[in-house]
Amino acid sequence: MKNSEMSFTLSNGNKIPKIGRNHILPFIIVGTYRLISEDVERVVSEAINIGYRHIDTATVYRNEEAIGNTLKSLFDKGVLRREEIFITSKLAPKDQGYEKATKAVDESLKKLGLDYIDLYLIHWPGTSSIKPNSPKNKKNRQDSWKALEEAYRQGKLKAIGVSNYTINHLKEMEEYATIKPMVLQCEAHPLYIPIDEVKYCKDNSIIFEAYTSLGEGKFLQNDFLEEHQFIQEIADRHGKTVAQVLLAWALQQDWTVLPKSKNPSRLKENFDCLFALKESEMEQINELSRTEMQKICWDPIDVQ
């Protein structure tokens, strides 16, 4: 398969790798949250061997340097070329503000050992050590975005976006952004579908990336599956695992997903999720967010 056939086009014309055979299905990403440096080389190398071509990291994950070292090794060995891998990183809450954000971009480039980062996101709408209701948060978001826009124009960043932004934060950006965000990454899974944010992304040609697709593992536990037996039944009908069903469900929403795992067999399992669920099966899973809505991760709703 040609590399050009394994991508999805961003609003600026750049492409993100995907694993679909056509442009109906979006893409799957290797998440590295909580992946310690000692495990990076093994996990990233295995993921590349399986076929992943998009690695997601962040300043707060403290593994950018280890990822950079692994990439350099793969480049040097001829296993991978720079243009074949898509790297996402994120601005830490402590680095919000124009000057800090400008410096943080350069620090991420240095740690990753790259001339450019494919996608860079503002990780959180708030700033460390500033109360959620402080107006300084908005000012810092605006100044941080200005820094990202400049880095984008300089070619340091090939695409820019935001993470954990609510619909209010997104609409606020219309007041000051000269370049609209190309990606929104936030929590989304069968128990929590952020409807307003998903619609905004669709209406504004913003790619929606879903994290916690497997509920931090909760949705794979026996007690959850005993209570929601229909999910296992769907998996059995397709000859797939529950994890693969939940990832396929997200992909059919036209989202990207970034499941994380240190286990080689799980990495391979997560990658093998390109199959179509029936509309009735999609609706069964969708119903969970209407009847059992539950957010699992941190909530940015109070950040002003």
Pick out the residues of the known binding site for substrate.
Answer: 123
Spell 92-117 as b/e; 16+ CB within 10 A means b: bbebbbbebbbebbebbbebbebebb
Rounded to the nearest 5°, which phi and psi values hold at 21? -90, -10
**Residue 170 near residue 197, CB atoms below 8 Å:** yes
Spell 122-140 as b/e; 16+ CB within 10 A means b: bbbbbbeebeeeeeebbeb
Active site residues: 61
CA distance 111 to 134: 32
What beta strand segments (E) does 18-104 contain? 30-31, 54-56, 86-91
Output the known binding site: 123
* Alpha-carbon distance values, 6 to 52, 119, 197 (Å): 10, 17, 26
Residue 33: Cβ within 10 Å count:
14
**Residue 182 near residue 160, CB atoms below 8 Å:** yes
